[in-house]
């Protein structure tokens, strides 16, 4: 057996954040999602919103994982969809800027309620809804920061979470 | 039409088809396309319409038309079952990169989503089996979308598209726009290859000691110029050439540099040359599993050059050392120019030794079979069919199975666009309707569907279409009463347990032909074969030819699933064991 460093490297699974600029037309999201399910690729997060109303273009941000070969295939497959303008892998040598927003509902009173509020302050989470026995916090940050916050809220009465998924952009002066 | 005058959606459809140069539509009417059929009635045969007997037949006929002409095939079907019946043909066209525009009727826009009669989510169902699809909800988008549909179907890697048109849109009045200059917003496939990559490829080719051209359907799709350029490049270099099933005819089978088809039922010499080569020049092929066999043992010592118009084909299954993205004809033209300007010469001695090696492999005579005086051997039948039709203007289609592989092995194609077969999807029932499409495009030519009796029964109803339109197609059935390839796999992989691969109660094909108003012929003995084939060729009507062959003949060579190229089964070696892993593969 010969040792092939290329193959060895190809087996490493990495997480990539991919930005896809598409025509904002009916069915475009179904095409992207259908491609991932038909070819057995992973979707860890997917967000979409119109980014240019005049040009009718939307930006889809997909977090996926795979070997280098799989990531290359995903990009090529996305790029060949007809309404796709551009596909950019934001995960290069430097990690892209990634932010996510979460709405987190915590129910309870007494010491736990005070503690939840204290932690919220430390995380710079905003209170966007209050009753006498509940809070809704709004928190923006990296996915890992939100994960940590959710774990901290769990013993303090966490009952509901809604997350936006990841919005990402590259660092530096270059556009997509 | 006056400028700015509004016309109905149905009129827009016909006008767009005319402006796109469409000569023939294959279709089947129904409630949701009646306004378009009304326009077809009124335009009095400027565009011919062929009424098929099942929508799958329409799609395959359009494929045959497209494959034999290089022009897109056009299909018109109704909503619901009309669209779903066409799905097999659409998927077939996607897998084999056949340009096809499918127009489907849809229930009126107000009824969409209400589970109306004959409603199906056609764009949803066909999203994964088309290159692109559209639902047109506004009549003023219709003309633009139709022109865009032809653009997408034919540009880049060709493929099928679907335009779903609700019935109210067909009645509505709207503005027509001509094809004009289609500058698509987002879809702009690259046809010219990167020159630096082409230079790298030429440098690599020049150093080759054991080279091979591995060519595919992309050479055919690129047009006749690509085949000419391939022949010129092969002559200049003196390299051996092999091809996939889809690429047959791009390089002449009579050429001494031709090694025959490669892959699962490819020749001993082609597969061994692929395995042992040091430089592989893949042109318009996609390293399909039927070609590569076991991936980790595929051509282990070669550098690979891959030319493909679809970037997603590169590094999908096999890593390319030099990848050139572009149209085959454009890339080969540039490659030849660079080759000539560099006055590149491969090592003559190394090449002579390589050809010496290939001669040894050829000496194995891998397609040899034991002929019989009593039984018609399928290989013999194809050899005789070839001998008696090679000097005629002949087109061949096939169904799927053993007969298809024997046709690929024994019918020697000399030019492109003469061979229509379902390669990727492997659709039994493809060949008969495909032959209709070929015959529509080439009325004076001899069009033969080399068929199996099981496959041909899947779309047999289209014989009625052939009779209606005086399409004198010849359906040459290699009748062994078995689903031959299934039977062969059961023999080799499943201990000879022939589970449901034998068709009892087959029809009498001669009587069946007569019932349809076609001509039925039969040959059961080798001695009868030539005369019967001559009679078939001479009849200017559709013919169903029942060629009774040896029932248990197997198709060799064969690379068992999960094996490498250099581990082939030959007829005279007999069955060998297949690994448990190989058994689970298709």
Catalytic residue (one of B485, B536, B558, B568): B485
H/E element, B509: helix B509-516
* B133 touches B102 (CB < 8 A): no
Q: What is the pLDDT of residue B3?
A: 56
Give the end of a domain, one of A93, A118, A144.
A93
Residue among B414, B228, B415 at smallest CA distance from B329:
B228
Shared domain check, A55 and A20: yes
In a domain, A56, yes or no: yes
Helix axes B81-95, B55-69, angle to 10 degrees: 30
- Could you tell me the two tokens for B166? 């609700």
A 38-67: CB under 8 A from B:
38
In a domain, A122, yes or no: yes
B188 CA to chain A: closest CA distance, Å?
9
Helices A28-38 and A68-79 cross at an angle (nearest 10°) of 150
Whether residue A55 contacts residue A76, with contact meaning beta carbons closer than 8 Å, is answered with no
Distance CA B3, CA B276 (A): 65
Please identify every stretch of chain A with a pLDDT value under 70, giving residue numbers as ranges: 1-10
User: Is B495 within 8 Å of B574 (Cβ atoms)?
Assistant: no
Count of domains for chain A: 2
- Chain-centroid distance of CA A172 in Å reads 20
Q: Identify the pLDDT of residue B8.
A: 98
What residue ranges in chain A does DSSP mark as E strands? 14-23, 45-52, 57-66, 84-89, 97-107, 126-131, 134-141, 158-163, 167-169
| Residue A89: domain span | 14-93
Structure tokens at A63: 């977090």
B233 included as an active-site residue: no
The residue of chain B nearest to residue A68, with distances taken between CA atoms, is B315
Per the CB < 8 Å rule, is B315 touching A30? no
Residue A1 lies in a domain: no
Going by their DSSP bridges, the two strands A126-131 and B7-8 should be labelled as unpaired
Q: For B166-220, what is the HEC assignment?
A: EHHHHHCEECCCCCCCCCCCCCCCCCCCCHHHHHHHHHHHHCCCCEEEEECHHHH
Which chain B residues are within 8 Å of A176, Cβ to Cβ? none
B186 and A77 in contact by Cβ < 8 A?
Answer: no
Please indicate, yes or no, whether residues A102 and A33 belong to a single structural domain of this protein. no
Evaluate whether residue A43 is within a structural domain. Answer: yes
CA atoms of B436 and B443, how far apart (whole Å) = 10
Residues A82 and A102 in one domain: no
Q: What CATH number corresponds to the domain at position A56?
A: 3.30.70.260
Same domain (yes/no): A114, A159 = yes
Is residue A30 less than 8 Å (CB to CB) from chain B? Answer: yes
Contacting residues of A for B316, CB less than 8 Å apart: 73, 76
Average pLDDT of chain B?
A: 96
Q: What is the ipTM of this complex?
A: 0.91
Structure tokens at A77: 């497959």
Query: For position A92, what pLDDT does the model report?
Result: 85
Residues A27 and A74 in one domain: yes
Among A93, A122, A142, residue at a domain's last position? A93
Full-model pTM: 0.95
3-state helix, strand, coil in chain A (%, to 5): 30, 40, 30
- The closest CB to that of A23, out of B133, B186, B311, belongs to B186
Q: Is the domain of A148 the same as that of A119? A: yes
Substitution target from A2, A80, A81, A84 for chain B, most B beta carbons within 10 A: A80
Substitution target from B312, B316, B318 for chain A, most A beta carbons within 10 A: B312
CATH number at residue A121: 3.30.70.1150
Q: Is residue A5 part of a domain?
A: no
The answer to whether residue A176 is domain-embedded is no
Select from A36, A62, A93 the last residue of a domain: A93
Catalytic position from the list B15, B131, B155, B167: B167
Cβ(B543)–Cβ(B513) under 8 Å? yes
CB–CB contact A72 B319 (8 Å): no
Whether A80 and A113 share a structural domain: no
Using 50 as the pLDDT threshold, list the residues of chain B that sit under it.
1-2
Q: Could you tell me the CA-to-CA distances from B552 to A76, B403, B461 in Å, in that order?
A: 45, 13, 28
A89 with A29, same domain: the answer is yes
Question: How many residues are recorded in chain A?
Answer: 176
Q: Are residues A101 and A86 in the same domain?
A: no
Same domain, residue pair A121 and A158: yes
What the block records as the tokens of A53 is: 């109303």
C-alpha span between B323 and B345 (Å, rounded): 22
Interface residues from chain B to A (CB-CB < 8 Å): 123-124, 127-128, 131-133, 135, 152, 156-157, 184-187, 310-312, 314-316, 319
Alpha-carbon gap, residue B514 to B86, rounded angstroms: 28
Candidates A6, A23, A77; nearest CB to B312: A77
B459: which DSSP letter?
Answer: S
Does A81 share its domain with A101?
Answer: no
In a domain, A25, yes or no: yes
Q: Is residue A164 assigned to a domain?
A: yes
Is residue B557 reached through a cis peptide bond, with omega within 30 degrees of 0 on the bond before it? yes
Interface contact A34, partner B, CB < 8 A: yes
Distance CA B560, CA B563 (A): 6
Distance CA(B9)–CA(B11), nearest Å, equals: 5
From B331, B337, B325, B274, select the one nearest B564 (Cα to Cα). Answer: B274
Distance CA B540, CA B542 (A): 7
Beta-bridged to residue B543, according to DSSP, are B474, B519
Q: Please check whether residues A21 and A85 belong to one and the same domain.
A: yes
């Amino acid at each position: 057996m010969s040792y092939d460093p290329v193959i060895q490297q190809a087996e490493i699974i990495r997480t990539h954040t991919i930005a896809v600029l598409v025509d904002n037309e009916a069915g475009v999201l179904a095409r992207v999602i259908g491609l991932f399910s038909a070819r057995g690729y992973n979707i860890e997060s997917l967000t979409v919103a119109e980014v240019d109303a005049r040009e009718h273009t939307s930006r889809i941000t997909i977090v996926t994982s795979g070997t280098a070969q799989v990531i290359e295939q995903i990009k090529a497959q996305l790029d060949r969809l007809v309404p796709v303008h551009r596909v950019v892998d934001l995960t290069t040598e430097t990690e892209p800027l990634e932010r996510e927003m979460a709405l987190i509902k915590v129910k309870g009173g007494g010491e736990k309620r005070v503690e939840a509020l204290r932690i919220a302050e430390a995380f710079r989470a905003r209170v966007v809804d209050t009753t006498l026995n509940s809070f809704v916090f709004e928190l923006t940050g990296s996915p890992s920061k939100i994960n940590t916050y959710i774990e901290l809220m769990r013993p303090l009465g966490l009952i509901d979470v809604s997350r936006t998924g990841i919005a990402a952009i590259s660092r530096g002066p270059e556009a997509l | 039409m006056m400028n700015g005058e509004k016309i109905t959606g149905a009129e827009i459809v016909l006008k767009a088809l005319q402006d796109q140069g469409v000569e023939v539509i294959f279709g089947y009417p129904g409630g949701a396309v009646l306004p378009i059929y009304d326009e077809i009635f009124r335009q009095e045969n400027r565009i011919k319409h062929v009424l098929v007997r099942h929508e799958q037949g329409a799609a395959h006929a359009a494929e045959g038309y497209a494959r034999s002409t290089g022009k897109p095939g056009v299909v018109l079907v109704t909503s619901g079952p009309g669209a779903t019946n066409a799905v097999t043909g659409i998927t077939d066209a996607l897998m084999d990169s056949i340009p096809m525009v499918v127009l489907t009727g849809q229930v009126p826009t107000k009824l969409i989503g209400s589970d109306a009669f004959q409603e199906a989510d056609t764009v949803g169902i066909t999203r994964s089996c088309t290159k692109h699809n559209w639902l047109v909800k506004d009549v003023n988008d219709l003309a633009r979308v139709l022109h865009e549909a032809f653009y997408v179907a034919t540009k880049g890697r060709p493929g099928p598209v679907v335009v779903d048109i609700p019935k109210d849109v067909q009645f509505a009045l709207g503005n027509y726009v001509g094809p004009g200059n289609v500058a698509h917003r987002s879809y702009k496939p690259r046809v010219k290859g990167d020159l630096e990559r082409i230079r790298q490829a030429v440098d690599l080719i020049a150093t080759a000691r054991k080279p091979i051209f591995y060519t595919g359907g992309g050479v055919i799709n690129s047009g006749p110029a690509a085949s000419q350029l391939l022949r010129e490049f092969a002559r200049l270099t003196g390299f051996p050439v092999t091809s996939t099933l889809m690429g047959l005819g791009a390089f002449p089978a009579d050429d001494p540099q031709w090694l025959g088809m490669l892959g699962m039922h490819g020749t001993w010499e082609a597969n061994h040359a692929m395995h042992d080569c040091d430089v592989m020049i893949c042109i318009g092929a996609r390293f399909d599993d039927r070609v590569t066999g076991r991936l980790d043992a595929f051509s282990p010592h070669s550098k690979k050059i891959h030319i493909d118009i679809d970037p997603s084909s590169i590094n999908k299954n096999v890593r390319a050392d030099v990848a050139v993205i572009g149209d085959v004809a454009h890339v080969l033209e540039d490659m030849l120019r660079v080759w000539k300007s560099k006055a590149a010469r491969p090592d003559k001695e190394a090449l002579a030794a390589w050809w010496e090696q290939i001669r040894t492999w050829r000496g194995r005579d891998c397609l040899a079979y034991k002929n019989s005086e009593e039984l018609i051997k399928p290989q013999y039948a194809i050899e005789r069919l070839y001998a008696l039709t090679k000097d005629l203007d002949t087109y061949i289609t096939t169904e799927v199975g053993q007969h298809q592989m024997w046709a690929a092995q024994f019918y020697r194609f000399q030019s492109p666009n003469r061979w229509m077969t379902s390669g990727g999807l492997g659709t039994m029932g493809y060949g008969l309707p495909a032959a209709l499409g070929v015959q529509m495009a080439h009325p004076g030519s001899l069009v033969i569907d080399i068929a199996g009796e099981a496959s041909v029964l899947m779309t047999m109803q289209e014989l009625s279409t052939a009779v209606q339109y005086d399409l004198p197609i010849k359906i040459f059935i290699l009748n062994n009463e078995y689903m031959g390839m299934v039977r062969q796999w059961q023999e080799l992989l499943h201990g000879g347990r022939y589970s449901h691969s034998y068709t009892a109660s087959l029809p009498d094909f001669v009587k069946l032909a007569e019932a349809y108003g076609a001509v039925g012929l039969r040959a059961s003995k080798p001695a009868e074969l030539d005369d019967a084939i001559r009679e078939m060729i001479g009849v200017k009507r559709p013919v169903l030819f029942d060629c009774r062959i040896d029932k248990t003949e197997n198709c060799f060579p064969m690379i068992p699933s999960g094996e490498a190229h250099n581990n082939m089964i030959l007829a005279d070696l007999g069955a060998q064991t297949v690994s448990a892993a190989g058994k689970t593969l298709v």
